[in-house]
Amino acid sequence: MVSSNDVQRLFLQGVFSRSILSFKHAQVLWEKCIDAVKAADPTVDIRFSDKREDWDRFVININNSLNCLDLEFRHLTDEQTGREMYAMVNSKDDEIAQMATDYAPVDIAYFRAVVEQIMLAPHEAYSVSSLVALREVNSLKTNMTKTQAEIVLGSFVANGWLLKSRRGRYSLSTRTLLELLPYLKNAYPEECLECVICYEIVTRGVACSTPNCKARLHYHCCKKYRSRNAKCPACSQDWPQDPKNMTPVGEEAIKDGQDEGRRVQRKSTTNSSDEEEDEEDDDEEMEAEPSQPSRTQTQTQRKGKGKGKAKKKKALADIDMDEDEDEDDEAPQQTQETGRRRSTRTR
């Protein structure tokens, strides 16, 4: 029997066949699913509505039915276009395991390493060059080559996990932010910046040029806000008339070659590595300390030279005594063996 619940089933099938879709695309899919159910049974009382509250109610019903599967139909605003995007994501704590169905454990470890470098990029760039991305292969305890890593990076871009710009820099896509947002906030709480307008994560946008001001905005949020106000919402300082004169956040915040130095690590790992290096330095110093002998050591060495000859004579005498004792020990053994041979002959 056809029922109104079939609309949700058809809609979920359409969502699972797509990695990510916009709000308008999702509404069109919802409308087509309603039309398909009504075509199968015109008596079903369901109607399509383009009102926001009706759409939100439909999404809530979908998420309630997906709770038992640890799935969620989540939305996030695209940082480049400002469009509202939707995707089916895993609602478990360790959401990095979402990729386990499509990639091998080695690929997931490599993806995690690249994401870490993107989040820890200097100057709030939130992007890495291809050289830095390929260099992460050396940090993995695997046999992955850089040629293989380049192929895996291409698959990340093709499947929508990473974005590659014209400069050849890799950054997080909207799909990755949707999938891994709880993981990123838990692993990198200091690096996850929020927009002061929409309160969503910012990896591309602008920052207030006032020193010590923590205001960060998306491009589309800044455009809407500046149409009504020209002062910073955090420090109330006047902003420049041209938004290009503001401090950028994202790829434009870094120049080519600035992030190709030493590999960046999280504070927890860097502190432990620094402690290990300090311990190694202390051990080397302890080994290098007895390089200059003291006076007592030189005196004992001089005395030892005089006594050396006497010790050698005693040692030679002891060796002769030991050889004589060994000969005495071997003699009764030989007599015993000859006695045994004679006894066997008599028998």
d(CA 225, CA 232): 9
Supply the pLDDT for residue 19.
81
Strand partners, 231: 238
* Residue 46 neighbours by CB under 8 Å, 6+ apart: 4, 7, 34, 37, 38
Encode pLDDT of 296-342 as tens digits: 444 444 444 444 444 444 444 454 544 444 444 444 444 444 444 44
Collapsing DSSP to helix, strand or coil, 190 comes out as: coil
116 token code pair: 């870490």
Q: What is the pLDDT of residue 325?
A: 46
* Mean local confidence (pLDDT), 37-48: 88
Residue of 6, 269, 243, 228 whose CA lies nearest to 120: 269
Taking the C-alpha atoms of residue 137 and residue 143, their distance in angstroms, rounded to an integer, is 9
4 pLDDT tier (thresholds 50, 70, 90): confident
Q: Which amino acid is at 277?
A: E
CA atoms within 13 A on the CB side of 18: 15
Confidence at residue 72, expressed as pLDDT on a 0 to 100 scale: 92
pLDDT digits (tens, 9 = 90+) for 152-166: 999 999 999 999 999
Q: Convert 71-81 to b/e letters by CB count within 10 Å (16 or more is b).
A: bbbbebbbbee
How confident is the model over 75-103, as a mean pLDDT?
Answer: 77
Nearest one of 110, 109, 157 to 135, comparing CA atoms: 110
The beta strands (E) that lie in the chain are given as 21-22, 71-77, 84-90, 128-129, 162-164, 169-172, 193-194, 201-202, 205-207, 216-217, 247-249
pLDDT tens digits for range 250-286: 999 988 777 766 566 666 544 444 444 454 444 444 4
DSSP letter at 231 equals: B
% pLDDT > 70, the chain: 72
Residue 120 has pLDDT above 60, yes or no: yes
Closest-CA residue to 245 (of 259, 230, 235): 230
Cα(127)–Cα(118) distance, rounded to whole angstroms?
A: 5
